[in-house]
Structure 1
């Protein structure tokens, strides 16, 4: 917890410093149109950074108990993708999931982890000419394994081992909280999560294991 609090303080201090610089100069630059425009654009962005960090931190420190139910895996993946369709509109998303697969998971928390993983993949493929995110699933004795694979530039072994650690990130603008929260949620729902990479320029694969559920009659009709 000491490490987390120290990291939060560090992450908040950066945007606060930027805001302080702007506001400290503002009274002397009220007639400087370019400065005032820059301030009006940058200050809200810095405040959003702080707000986003606090929200994700609170998700970790005060998580609600999951309400675990049987959910149709394919349907919830589709529903989750709809929430970020604008952010990933230029990315080809390939889904290969049997529509009969059901898992035991909290619905809203499942959406949260899918969104985090998709947005993480979006950042990973932003420099790729033909970006692709593949989502597939396989069935085992007691689990469903869900795979999220992108064709981004991947991570080397040294970085990969820390992907689920709090505040570890290789992104310039990232805070390293998203994937950490994903792991916490998966653990609380009785699953497990891991990451694999084929190395630079070959992308990365996030593997989520969730307990198998049972489709009810309504789910069978809808699927």
Structure 2
């Protein structure tokens, strides 16, 4: 490498060395040759080192990609394990009750209470399967242009109906400009917000002044829904896992309501988050606006 660089960058040095009649040029030429050789050696060394470093980087990159694939694989297995455990739990308990009820009926000791229990457990199973299928579906193909004002009128009626059944007060701050809209699956977004509202109602149901508030904020790029309650809030240990499927602190909960709401938010390019308030907590659903 150094010889090649010398010949390329300083051919005059060789000419002067060969022409011994011009002795006053020999010493400078020798210095020039030596310097070029030094540069060539340095360039060769750096080139070799660069090549080695490149190979190291490629090896590390390959190892990192393999590690990422392994982590993704492990995460999928972990999620699959959680789903399997959740499904087994949600199905096994009703099936055990149904099995016991059938045994009682077979023994001839059936009564209305047994029939009611069987009906309740079957309804629980049906609701769970419906929720799970909603969560498991791949994306949404029903995205349309949604008028936000009309959407909020429909949503508030559903929330009011649910609140009346649970004896919870509702405060609505949902006045929006008539021309505001969003793009998405109207029923899915409505389901997400209703799930969050019902979760809030259940969180404060044991209070005499149970209250759930719904508000909307509109920015240049987003529509932000706030649903808050005056319940007991979310414990710090649960705040990171509250949107995972089958996570629930309720005896009768499936753990799919908030998981489904979070999934719907992601499918619409948005996000769902929660923060504790002085009393209760506030869920924030942020979705890109359409116009």
**TM-score bin (small chain):** 0.7 to 0.9
**Unaligned ranges ≥5, structure 1:** 215-223
1:80 aligns with 2:80: no
What's the TM-score, normalizing by structure 2? 0.67
Q: How does 1:9-20 map to 2 (within 5 A)?
A: 9-20=88-99
Q: Deviations along 1:132-179, whole A, 9 cap, x unmatched?
A: 111112233311211001111112111222110010001111010111
Q: How does 1:86-101 map to 2 (within 5 A)?
A: 86-89=161-164, 90-100=167-177, 101=180
CA contact (8 A) 1:88 1:122 kept: yes
Aligned pair partner of 1:158 in 237, 245, 256: 237
User: Root-mean-square deviation (CA), in Å?
Assistant: 1.8
C-alpha separation in 1, matches of 2:271 and 2:191: 15
CA contact (8 A) 1:69 1:106 kept: yes
After TM superposition, where is structure 1 displaced by more than 6 Å over at least 4 residues in a row?
none
CA contact (8 A) 1:18 1:46 kept: yes
For residue 157 of structure 1, give the secondary structure of its aligned residue in structure 2: coil
For residue 156 of structure 1, give the secondary structure of its aligned residue in structure 2: coil
1:127 aligns with 2:202: no
CA contact (8 A) 2:152 2:174 kept: no
C-alpha separation in 2, matches of 1:205 and 1:39: 40
C-alpha separation in 2, matches of 1:67 and 1:42: 38
Q: Deviations along 1:66-118, whole A, 9 cap, x unmatched?
A: 43333233432321232353331132221213421432221111111122112
Q: How does 1:42-53 map to 2 (within 5 A)?
A: 42-53=117-128
CA contact (8 A) 2:230 2:280 kept: yes
C-alpha separation in 1, matches of 2:171 and 2:183: 23
CA contact (8 A) 1:154 1:204 kept: yes
C-alpha separation in 2, matches of 1:72 and 1:114: 16
Partner residue, 2:220: 141
For residue 133 of structure 1, give the secondary structure of its aligned residue in structure 2: strand
Higher RCO, Cα 8 Å, sep 6+: 1
C-alpha separation in 1, matches of 2:172 and 2:230: 15
What's the TM-score, normalizing by structure 1? 0.85
Partner residue, 1:58: 133
**Unaligned ranges ≥5, structure 2:** 1-79
CA contact (8 A) 1:69 1:104 kept: yes
Q: Which has the higher strand share?
A: 1
C-alpha separation in 1, matches of 2:124 and 2:115: 15
